[in-house]
């Protein structure tokens, strides 16, 4: 029996800790790996700007826990239109619940109450609840005071943006995991011509990956130039 709870979201199999380039977030990475391997941490809250790797770390946490036969679920609240707050009912018995983008439902009374009740149920059962948002717990504009107090009570980590060098190293690591190399020359050329936030860089990696599969060509500067001009 699978330890992953099926939902109509993308799989998190490929988002493991080995694919996460930490930069200055090494302490966060080490903490999550240690707590999942050895210790029990009931509540963890990750926050940082868009593109700092919150979703990656939550999905990697699920993947590692599932590989140890733990029952897990990953819920991206950016896709909340696909489900209702009652999705959170009955999942407290899982070993690990990861809820991404909590700030997407802040201000919604039903969602706030559902999160509050889930937090309490999981705390009582001593199961782990990992959350993420772009804002710190104290900075969330939550209407339910008791929910804010719960969120500020757990372990909180702030994720920093990667610097320019680390962004490109992260891109090379992701490319290598897909079976192809991005030379320093190609990386430098691409970085001067596309947006350098992580979402944009990884989006271009997807395009390069697909283009090489179709053309059967190596990724060179002329190849990238041709792709950019399309």
pLDDT digits (tens, 9 = 90+) for 52-84: 999 999 999 999 999 999 999 999 999 999 989
The per-residue pLDDT for range 103-124, each reduced to its tens digit, is 999 999 999 999 999 999 999 9
Give domain status of residue 153, yes or no: yes
- Measured CA angle at 7 (ends 207, 72), to 5 deg: 100
Q: Report residue 14 CA to chain centroid gap.
A: 11
Last residue of a domain, one of 102, 133, 158: 158
Give domain status of residue 180, yes or no: yes
Regarding whether 133 and 41 lie in a shared domain, the answer is: yes
- Beta-bridge partners for 100: 76
Last residue of a domain, one of 135, 158, 181: 158
* Residue ranges making up the domain that contains 225: 164-229
Last residue of a domain, one of 101, 130, 158: 158
| Euclidean distance between CA atoms 180 and 89, whole angstroms | 43
CATH of the domain at 96: 3.40.50.300
Kindly state the percentage of the chain with pLDDT values over 70. Answer: 93
Look at the chain and report how many structural domains it folds into. 2
Taking all residues of the chain, what is their mean pLDDT, rounded to a whole number? 89
Regarding whether 150 and 56 lie in a shared domain, the answer is: yes
Give domain status of residue 2, yes or no: no
Regarding whether 215 and 120 lie in a shared domain, the answer is: no
| Euclidean distance between CA atoms 161 and 9, whole angstroms | 26
| Euclidean distance between CA atoms 207 and 46, whole angstroms | 29
Regarding whether 88 and 148 lie in a shared domain, the answer is: yes
Task: Extract the tokens encoding 132.
Answer: 């993420």
| Euclidean distance between CA atoms 53 and 60, whole angstroms | 10
Regarding whether 77 and 91 lie in a shared domain, the answer is: yes
Regarding whether 130 and 42 lie in a shared domain, the answer is: yes
pTM of the model: 0.86
């Amino acid at each position: 029996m699978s330890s992953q709870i099926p939902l109509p979201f993308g799989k998190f199999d490929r988002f493991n800790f080995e694919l996460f380039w930490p930069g200055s977030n090494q302490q966060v990475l080490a903490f999550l790996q240690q707590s999942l391997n050895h210790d029990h941490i009931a509540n963890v809250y990750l926050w940082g700007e868009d593109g700092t790797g919150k979703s990656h770390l939550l999905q990697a946490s699920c993947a590692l826990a599932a590989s140890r036969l733990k029952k897990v679920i990953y819920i991206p609240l950016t896709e909340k239109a696909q489900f209702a707050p009652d999705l959170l009912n009955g999942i407290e018995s899982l070993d690990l619940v990861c809820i991404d983008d909590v700030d997407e439902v802040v201000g919604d009374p039903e969602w706030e109450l559902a999160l509050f009740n889930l937090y309490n149920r999981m705390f009582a059962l001593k199961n782990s609840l990992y959350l993420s948002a772009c804002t710190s717990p104290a900075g969330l504009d939550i209407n339910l005071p008791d929910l804010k107090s719960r969120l500020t009570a757990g372990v909180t980590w702030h994720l920093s943006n990667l610097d320019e060098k680390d962004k490109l190293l992260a891109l090379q690591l992701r490319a290598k995991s897909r079976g192809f190399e991005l030379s320093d020359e190609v990386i430098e050329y691409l970085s001067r011509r596309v947006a350098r936030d992580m979402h944009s860089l990884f989006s271009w990696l997807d395009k390069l990956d697909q283009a090489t599969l179709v053309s059967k060509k190596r990724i060179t500067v002329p190849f990238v130039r041709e792709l950019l001009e399309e």
